[in-house]
């Protein structure tokens, strides 16, 4: 058990969660983090081996998790994902809609072709709509729940070559507000956690390029990129009863990136 475990154990005790994009990066940290707080977790990803590995690592430290393979850009697969988690746990009352990312596909607006636009919107925005819809329908009929979406610093600011991603994450920010309004009467809170640049296996090579590292130095007031573990606290808070009066908001965990 590491030093982060134990101190606040149990803030999500009894919660039945789905975490999408749980095979690696921020999603793996979130899945392990909410499991440490007592939630039962369905680790969902298109990466079957990765999702299995994360679920197993949760089991090894005494948590309860299953892995589910699903592409969250496909509504049928999202419905099957929900059914798998619901069958295993007897319901779902926490959705962490984290799957997404830019995959480094930066393209100046004048060169932005329609297939890439749609791929980015599907992966980062439509996926939130699909997962949110399917989970919220069941939560509404079971007395409520919480939804936390992984957004981005680019829901607030723009950077060169990121129009498609910024539009998707800006859409997430508004969708979270709109869902919060419509779902409040059903006892469902909806919020977002917006990471700043966060080091993951997938972006390590890009982040270590000297020009990218130099840019991060002067665009992030805290002067460094984040570790995925640093995203866990805000998500646990938003998912927990400590945030019982918080809905429709985005917490930026970005080292101050959006200040400048
Ligand atoms: N890493 C960063 O710097 C950063 C910054 C801001 C926001 N974010 C956001 O954080 C979230 C996680 O990003 P990350 O950096 O950990 O990315 P990552 O690429 O390391 O992990 C993303 C995970 O999602 C899975 N995934 C991708 N598309 C999927 C799909 N269609 N269906 C199911 N699973 C899918 C991948 O297999 C992978 O396991 C994303 O929403 C991303 O936009 C990341």
Q: Which of 46-55, 212-221, 237-246 has the lowest mean pLDDT?
A: 212-221
Range of the domain at 41: 16-254
- Verify whether ligand 1 is closer than 6 Å to residue 145 (CB atom): no
Does residue 10 belong to any structural domain of this protein? Answer: no
| 66/64 Cα distance (integer angstroms) | 7
- Give the CATH number of the domain where residue 133 resides: 3.40.50.720
- Verify whether ligand 1 is closer than 6 Å to residue 146 (CB atom): no
Q: Among the options 129, 130, 165, 237, which is catalytic?
A: 165
The torsion angle over the Cα atoms of residues 119, 121, 127 and 132, rounded to 10 degrees, is -170
Nearest CA to ligand 1 atom 12: 26
Nearest CA to ligand 1 atom 30: 71
Residue-wise pLDDT for 28-81, tens only, equals: 999 999 999 999 999 999 999 999 999 999 999 999 999 999 999 999 999 999
Does residue 200 belong to any structural domain of this protein? Answer: yes
| 87/89 Cα distance (integer angstroms) | 6
Match 């297939």 to its residue by tokens: 115
237 is catalytic: no
Give me the helix-helix angle, 114-121 and 163-183, nearest 10°.
Answer: 30
Mean pLDDT of 130-143: 98
Does residue 213 belong to any structural domain of this protein? Answer: yes
Does residue 7 belong to any structural domain of this protein? Answer: no
Residue-wise pLDDT for 9-28, tens only, equals: 599 999 999 999 999 999 99
Does residue 5 belong to any structural domain of this protein? Answer: no
- CA 197 / ligand 1 centre spacing (Å): 12
Does residue 21 belong to any structural domain of this protein? Answer: yes
169-176 contact pairs (CB < 8 A, 24+): 169/124, 169/125, 169/194, 171/121, 171/124, 171/125, 172/124, 172/125, 172/128, 173/250, 175/125, 175/128, 175/129, 175/132, 175/149, 176/149, 176/151, 176/248, 176/249, 176/250
Predicted confidence at residue 252, as pLDDT, reads: 98
Structure tokens at 173: 């920010």
- Verify whether ligand 1 is closer than 6 Å to residue 254 (CB atom): no
Predicted confidence at residue 9, as pLDDT, reads: 58
Does residue 191 belong to any structural domain of this protein? Answer: yes
For the chain, the domain total comes to 1
Entry pTM: 0.96
């Amino acid at each position: 058990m590491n030093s982060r475990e134990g101190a606040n154990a149990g803030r999500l005790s009894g919660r039945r969660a789905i975490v999408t994009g749980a095979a690696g990066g921020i999603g793996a940290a979130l899945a392990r983090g909410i499991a440490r707080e007592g939630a039962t977790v369905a680790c969902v990803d298109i990466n079957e081996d990765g999702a299995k590995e994360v679920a197993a690592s949760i089991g090894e430290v005494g948590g309860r998790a299953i892995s589910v393979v699903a592409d969250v850009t496909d509504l049928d697969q999202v419905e099957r994902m929900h059914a798998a988690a619901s069958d295993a746990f007897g319901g779902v009352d926490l959705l962490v809609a984290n799957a997404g990312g830019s995959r480094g596909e930066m393209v100046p607006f004048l060169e932005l072709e329609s297939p890439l636009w749609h791929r980015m919107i599907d992966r980062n925005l439509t996926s939130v709509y699909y997962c949110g819809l399917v989970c919220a329908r069941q939560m509404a009929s079971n007395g409520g729940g919480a939804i936390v979406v992984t957004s981005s610093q680019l829901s607030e600011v723009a950077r060169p070559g990121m129009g498609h991603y910024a539009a998707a994450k800006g859409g997430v920010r508004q969708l979270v507000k709109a869902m919060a309004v419509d779902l409040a009467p059903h006892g469902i809170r909806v919020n977002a956690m917006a990471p700043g640049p966060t080091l993951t296996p997938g972006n390590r090579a890009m982040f270590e390029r000297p020009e990218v590292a130099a840019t991060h130095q002067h665009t992030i007031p805290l002067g460094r990129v984040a570790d995925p573990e640093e995203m866990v606290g805000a998500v646990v808070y938003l998912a927990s009863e400590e945030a019982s009066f918080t809905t429709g908001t985005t917490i930026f965990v970005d080292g101050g990136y959006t200040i400048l």
